[in-house]
Amino acid sequence: MVQFKYIHHSCFMLTTEKDAIIFDPYLDGNPTGVKAEDIKVSHVLVTHNHGDHLGSAYAIAKNNNATFISTAEVANAAAQAGVKAFPMHLGGVLPFPFGKVRVTPAFHGSGIAGGHACGFIVDFYGTTVYFAGDTCIFGDMSLLAKLEKIDYAVLPIGNTFTMGPEDARLAVQLLGVKKVIPVHYNTWPKIAQDPQAFKAAVEKDGVAKVFVVAPGESLTLD
């Protein structure tokens, strides 16, 4: 049974009874009170080097001797800090013990010289999750849907730094996904959004269901 455990902002874990991986582990100010030393994972996936995504990734990776997966520039910086890093880049698709990782483009700063922000499509024990990272909407989201059978899309809806809810609604159509989880909103006033309004708008289109997961809550992925 795969679970989506939401911490806050863009930080979430995918878990089974035996394994867990974490994405963009920004823990500062998270309302669940979880700290880096509480987190047990085998892999840490980071979309870009902005502080609200890199977060506590080094500490979590070191504590667990976990593998840090990101684009080459971000991963190489982690390796220099003593982290067990696994560099990939846009277009890379590789098997991992839990399944598979595809690195997707994201239109956003990388937060590091020469880098590129990314998203991930992860097959985690048979459930495929597309985490867009920080990005605007882009037309090739429809191409991603041809490359992988995406079960859940985890999309930013905050606006200001990423796409907002109206663009994310169209992104759902480009992706052709049936299940959507909004993230990257309400962390700060600049990304204040009503996820229930997003849910109502997307579900009105009649294709996808939106799961609004509160910080600290978990959703069982089927």
Q: How far is the CB of 55 from Ni ion (least distance, A)?
A: 11
CA dist 173 and 8 (Å) reads 25
CA neighbours closer than 13 Å in the CB half-sphere of residue 171: 29
E strands in the chain: 2-8, 11-15, 20-23, 43-45, 67-71, 85-88, 93-96, 99-105, 118-124, 127-131, 152-156, 179-183, 209-210, 218-221
Q: Which of 5, 9, 50, 102 binds Ni ion (CB under 5 A)?
A: 50
Q: How far is the CB of 161 from Ni ion (least distance, A)?
A: 6
Rule CB under 5 A: is residue 24 a binding residue for Mn ion?
A: no
Identify which of residues 20 and 22 has a Cβ nearer to Ni ion in the complex: 22
Rule CB under 5 A: is residue 134 a binding residue for Mn ion?
A: yes
Q: How far is the CB of 58 from Mn ion (least distance, A)?
A: 18
* Burial class of residue 157 (count of CB atoms within 10 Å of its CB; 0-12, 13-18, 19+): buried
Q: How far is the CB of 134 from Mn ion (least distance, A)?
A: 4
Q: Which of 52, 73, 123, 151 binds Mn ion (CB under 5 A)?
A: 52
Applying CB under 5 A, the span of 26-34, 62-70, 133-141, 207-215 interacting with Mn ion comes to 133-141
- Segment (H or E) for 172: helix 165-175
- Give the count of beta carbons closer than 10 Å to the beta carbon of residue 89: 15
Applying CB under 5 A, the span of 67-75, 86-94, 132-140, 212-220 interacting with Ni ion comes to 132-140
Q: Which of 24, 73, 123, 134 binds Ni ion (CB under 5 A)?
A: 134
List residues binding Mn ion (CB under 5 A). 52, 134
List residues binding Ni ion (CB under 5 A). 50, 134
